[in-house]
Amino acid sequence: MKTATPSRSGVSVRAILVGLLLVAVNAYWVGIASELWYSVYTLVNPFSNAVFTLAMLLVVNVGLKRWLPSMAFTSAELLLVYVMVTTVSTISGHAFMAILMGALAHPFWYATPENQYVELFHRFIPDWMTVGDPEQMRGYFDGGSSLYVGDHWRVWIRPALIWSAFICAVYGSYLSVSILLRKQWMEHEKLTFPLTQLPIQMTTNDTFWKSKALWVGFAIAASIRALNAAGDLFPV
């Protein structure tokens, strides 16, 4: 497959701004899909929501290349947005955020004299990193309320900011380790990174979308998925 070299760096202000916008959209989308619809997009790599987002950006880019060529995104910019969306999807998905939120609240909400949570380990949980008053968590567990009620967000804002800072530090360390190992992996061991091939080919290979095998494979997979979806809606 052919791979083109982008004409300028992908780390541009507009790419970051578009990425931040799409990060917010995807974080909400993945959260709602996994917790309300139980459609977990982040179970299989590459993430389907990130690939879809990249595909929609490519459609927009076709229009930009035709009518506003100077505004068209480069391959590097598109890949930067894809990486941002993929990274945040790992946080907002079912395997991370849902478990974290439950872990923060569970020890206090479900504490009873019988299970002796208070005596066993409450003293080991710092009060600044969670919400410890069961009454303040009633809306979270019972529903019928909203996070945006003043009393609720004032209680949750501190642990949310603290855990957000911790998550950023953890992901920053991942990035740092990757940078340290990049030369060894890419130049000496010649690793292929198969999960990166799809977004790279989508953005840099002009013949990718003209492949008949691609569309045949897509049609087969999409037909099976559409049939399964129809079965969910109309079981008979």
- Residue given tokens 């992996």 in the structure block: 185
Task: Decide if 86 contacts 45 (C-beta within 8 A).
Answer: no
Could you give the CA distance from residue 83 to residue 193 in angstroms, rounded to a whole number? 14
Burial of 211 (0-12, 13-18, 19+ CB in 10 A): middle
pTM for this entry: 0.85
20 residue type, one letter = L
pLDDT value at residue 209:
92
Q: Which of 86, 8, 10, 15 has the alpha carbon at shortest distance from 53?
A: 86
How far are the Cα atoms of 52, 155, 221 from residue 48, in angstroms, in the given order?
6, 34, 13
Task: Decide if 185 contacts 196 (C-beta within 8 A).
Answer: no
Can you read off the two tokens belonging to residue 93? 């998905």
How far are the Cα atoms of 96, 119, 123, 146 from residue 108, in angstroms, in the given order?
20, 12, 11, 20
pLDDT value at residue 6:
46
pLDDT value at residue 102:
81
pLDDT value at residue 5:
47
pLDDT value at residue 114:
94
pLDDT value at residue 101:
83
Task: Decide if 13 contacts 19 (C-beta within 8 A).
Answer: no
pLDDT value at residue 172:
94
Could you give the CA distance from residue 214 to residue 235 in angstroms, rounded to a whole number? 31
Averaged over successive runs of 10 residues, the pLDDT of the chain (236 residues) comes to: 53 94 96 87 92 97 94 95 95 84 88 93 91 86 85 88 95 94 94 94 93 96 94 90
- Helices in 36-96 by DSSP H: which ranges? 48-67, 75-92
What is the DSSP code (8-state) at residue 189? S
